Amino acid sequence: MIEKLLQDPAFWTVALFVIPLLLRVPIAIALASSALVVAYKWDMGYEMLSYNIYAGIAKFPLLAIPFFILAGVIMERAGIAGRIIDLMKALVGSRTGGLAIATVAVATFWGAVSGSGPATVAALGLILIPGMVSTGYDKPFATATVAVTSGLAIVIPPSIAFIVYGGVANVSVPALFAAGFIPGLLVAGCIMLAVWIISYKKGYRAAPVENPEPIGKAFKNAFWGVMTPVIILGGIYGGIFTPTEAAAVAVVYGLVVGLFIYRTLTSLSQLFEIFAATVHATAIVMIVVTCAGLFSWVGSTVGLVEKSASILLAVSENQWIVLFMINIILLLAGMILDAISIYYVFLPILLPLIVHFGWDPIWFGVMMTINLAVGQVTPPVAVNLYVGANISGLRIEDITKPALPLIGAALFALVLVIVFPELSTFTPRILGLSP
């Protein structure tokens, strides 16, 4: 039995990936080294490796990733985030838990701009965390609120995560964008309820807004920022442009707002910093995409996909038990892997199960993405918590405890999405984006 296992390339594909990961080797290196060693040992041909490296990233939909990253950086540097925050403060800041609720609302909205959880924490945390602390909120709670809600950036469309899922699973990206609306707002609503309850118990309340005029002024200042997702998503669902083209439109729109309307981008050095930050973030994402795609191909070639699926089906043929196991696996994977790697590593294994049980791939994509959003705030990786800790100057241990009730609220919303698939499939169906 052991000898047979040691001769199985599928076993070594997993082992050579997990062992470096446990040794804290960067995820891209762990994925690539496993794929290369197995491909060399079982003579899969170097020409196929080079072909798959190229084929994994030479996809038109993936062009949306650098463009959406660039659009997010532009809009953050153009001051759009600050104006939206001022609007939310003016609307609800004086109520019990108002700033916490506003933080959830802003992070949810900003997810429709950046499409990236860590980028949302970085863009909003520098403004929201000090703002909440200055009005009496506990710093760990303020940081946890920003970090947990920023995970919604990969659920609220447009979403880089949905673009990757659509490419791997061959599912319509506009349909996924439409499907993410209601579940994303549901998760945000559950987190809002959690932060309000905590704020009510602890007496968190900002100073009341005495003059109603700032609300109108704040809306006027934030108008062009508020229009960002309207233009992007309206163009996609109106059939004016594709999601990839929408990403380029978002870049142009952000530059027009920053250069000519708000006039906050005033020098070439600012543009250079914006492009440098975008190239850095894009390089990290695309290296992981390349290595994860190579690992996925090798795993499929050696039969890892079929064997893993058969193991899950051997446990039970009951779809609810299998679905429960899948969610536990995804939640655990989210604790150690980034979202893009999880799509490439686990989705090929799960696709046969989607077909076997007749699950809607759009609903499954939303469910999987909410899982990965939770994974961004669950240690030991918890990338959103690390970014929040770096901004606030706290230890990650300080943030974890206040984050737990908010994570619980997100998991409750996940259960609702699982039990009621219509929450995900309703919007694409009425827009004519899915059967």
Q: How many CA atoms lie within 13 A of 3 on its CB side?
A: 0
Q: Cα dihedral sign for 136, 120, 190, 210? A: positive
Instruction: Give the span between the Cα atoms of 144 and 164, in whole angstroms.
Output: 27
What is the full DSSP assignment across 131-190? HHHHTT--HHHHHHHHHHHHGGGGTSSS-HHHHHHHHHHT--HHHHHHHHHHHHHHHHHH
- Whether residue 6 is predicted with pLDDT greater than 80 in this model: the reply is no
Instruction: Give the span between the Cα atoms of 330 and 139, in whole angstroms.
Output: 30
Q: Looking at residue 62, what DSSP letter applies?
A: G
Higher-confidence residue of 85 and 69: namely 69
* Tens digit of each residue's pLDDT (9 = 90 or more) over 161-174: 898 899 889 899 88
- Whether residue 362 is predicted with pLDDT greater than 80 in this model: the reply is yes
- For residue 208, the model assigns a pLDDT of 55
Q: Looking at residue 241, what DSSP letter applies?
A: S
- Whether residue 379 is predicted with pLDDT greater than 80 in this model: the reply is no
**pLDDT-based confidence at 407, cuts 50/70/90?**
very high
Residue 183's nearest CA partner among 362, 307, 351, 317 is 362
**pLDDT-based confidence at 408, cuts 50/70/90?**
very high
pTM: 0.79
* Tens digit of each residue's pLDDT (9 = 90 or more) over 11-23: 888 888 888 878 8
The answer to whether the peptide bond before residue 243 is cis (omega within 30 degrees of 0) is no
* Tens digit of each residue's pLDDT (9 = 90 or more) over 76-112: 788 777 787 777 777 766 677 778 888 888 878 776 6
- Whether residue 129 is predicted with pLDDT greater than 70 in this model: the reply is yes
- Whether residue 70 is predicted with pLDDT greater than 90 in this model: the reply is no
Q: Cα dihedral sign for 171, 174, 176, 178? A: negative
* Tens digit of each residue's pLDDT (9 = 90 or more) over 207-230: 555 554 467 787 888 888 788 778
**pLDDT-based confidence at 381, cuts 50/70/90?**
low
Higher-confidence residue of 335 and 116: namely 335
- For residue 78, the model assigns a pLDDT of 83
- For residue 212, the model assigns a pLDDT of 47
Contact 294, 32 (CB under 8 A): yes
Mean of pLDDT values over 273-292? 85
Higher-confidence residue of 298 and 415: namely 415
Q: Which two tokens stand for residue 112?
A: 């429709």
**pLDDT-based confidence at 277, cuts 50/70/90?**
confident
Higher-confidence residue of 430 and 55: namely 430
- Whether residue 342 is predicted with pLDDT greater than 80 in this model: the reply is yes
What are the backbone dihedrals phi and psi of residue 96, each rounded to the nearest 5 degrees, phi first? -60, 125
- Whether residue 1 is predicted with pLDDT greater than 90 in this model: the reply is no
Let me know if 286 is exposed, middle or buried by CB neighbors in 10 A (0-12, 13-18, 19+): middle
- For residue 233, the model assigns a pLDDT of 75
Percent of the chain surpassing pLDDT 90? 19
> Residue 210, SS3?
coil
- Encoded amino acid at 342, one letter: I
* Tens digit of each residue's pLDDT (9 = 90 or more) over 229-249: 788 878 877 878 887 788 888
- For residue 94, the model assigns a pLDDT of 64
Q: Looking at residue 258, what DSSP letter applies?
A: I
How many CB atoms lie under 10 A from the CB of residue 182?
A: 18
Instruction: Give the span between the Cα atoms of 162 and 173, in whole angstroms.
Output: 7
Q: What is the mean pLDDT of the chain?
A: 83
